[in-house]
């Protein structure tokens, strides 16, 4: 299902309003919270309309799909963020075609992104994905291993370590969500070089903003459901 310009405008405005209200409630500046529009499985035309409405940062999970859309949108100055799992044979294209990667969880991948970052581009912005609830099946590094990975990445000149990304296990209450996000925040604070917390989605944005999120990742609430899409 594709949305028209009015629908996309309404959706983006409601989310921005929600972010502004949550920021005020939690004594944050709303301009310190970036809205990342997650456009996976949505066509390039939808991204183009959202961009024309002022949305500049887009998140993609699947490399080939993202490269295809980037080709169609070369005329736009989009800030592309890679937020999906990374296989080592994909690092070259990720490093050359994105300005941010949120899902780095091992040094091997970081080294490849560093070595493959084209010389004409600025250093690639990196967030470490933290498996904050220690879920066995989930991507992300265990919290106790973050310091070591942080140190390795800070030694890589073509990467700029920006912060942490987390996708916590679903929680019942604001309080539980907040406690988890606060743990991510506290880990981030141990590294003064970090300034970014990529955390919060539609269902837990309020708690994420309360705990210091600087980037919320929203897909469905902007572009509508992905269910009718052929690719899964």
Ligand X SMILES: *Cc1c(COP(=O)(O)O)cnc(C)c1O
Q: Is 61 in the site for ligand X (CB under 6 A)?
A: yes
Position 42 contacts ligand X (CB under 6 A): no
DSSP state of 182: H
CB-based burial of residue 30 (10 Å sphere; 0-12 exposed, 13-18 middle, 19+ buried)?
A: middle
Position 81 contacts ligand X (CB under 6 A): no
Of 51 and 58, the one with the shorter C-beta distance to ligand X is 58
Q: Directed axis angle between helix 44-52 and helix 5-25, to 10°?
A: 60
Q: Please classify residue 184 by burial: count the beta carbons closer than 10 Å to its beta carbon, then call 0-12 exposed, 13-18 middle and 19+ buried.
A: buried
Q: What is the smallest separation between the CB atom of 72 and ligand X, expressed in angstroms?
A: 21
Smaller CB separation from ligand X, 138 or 158: 138
Site size toward ligand X (CB under 6 A) is 12
- Measured from the CB atom, is 40 or 162 closer to ligand X? 40
Hey, is 81 helix, strand or coil? Answer: strand
Distance in Å, CB of 151 to ligand X, minimum = 25
Show the binding pattern over residues 178-217: x = contacts ligand X (CB under 6 A), - = does not: -----------------------xx--------------x
Tell me which residue has its CB nearest to ligand X.
Answer: 219
* Number of residues written out for the chain: 232
The tokens describing 39, both together, are 């456009």
Confirm if 204 and 20 have CB atoms less than 8 A apart: no
Interacting residue ranges for ligand X, rule: CB under 6 A: 38, 40, 61, 83, 167, 201-202, 217-221
């Amino acid at each position: 299902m594709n949305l028209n310009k009015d629908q996309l405008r309404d959706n983006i405005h409601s989310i921005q309003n929600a972010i502004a209200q949550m920021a005020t409630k939690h004594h944050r500046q709303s301009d310190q919270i970036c809205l990342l529009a997650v456009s996976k499985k949505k066509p390039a035309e939808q991204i183009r309309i959202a961009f024309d409405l002022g949305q500049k940062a887009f998140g993609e999970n699947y490399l080939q799909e993202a490269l295809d859309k980037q080709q169609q949108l070369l005329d736009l100055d989009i800030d592309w963020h890679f937020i999906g799992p990374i296989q080592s044979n994909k690092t070259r294209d990720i490093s050359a075609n994105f300005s941010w990667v949120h899902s780095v969880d091992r040094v091997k991948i970081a080294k490849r992104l560093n070595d493959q970052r084209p010389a004409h581009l600025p250093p690639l912005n990196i967030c470490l994905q933290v498996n904050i609830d220690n879920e066995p099946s989930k991507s992300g590094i265990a919290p106790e291993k973050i310091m070591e990975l942080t140190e390795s990445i800070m030694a890589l000149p073509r990467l700029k370590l920006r912060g942490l990304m987390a996708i916590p296990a679903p929680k019942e209450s604001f309080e539980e969500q907040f406690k988890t996000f606060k743990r991510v925040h506290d880990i981030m604070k141990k590294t003064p070089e970090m300034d970014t917390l990529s955390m919060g989605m539609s269902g837990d944005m309020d708690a994420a903003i309360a705990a210091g999120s600087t980037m919320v990742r929203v897909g469905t609430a902007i572009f509508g459901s992905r269910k009718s899409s052929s690719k899964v």
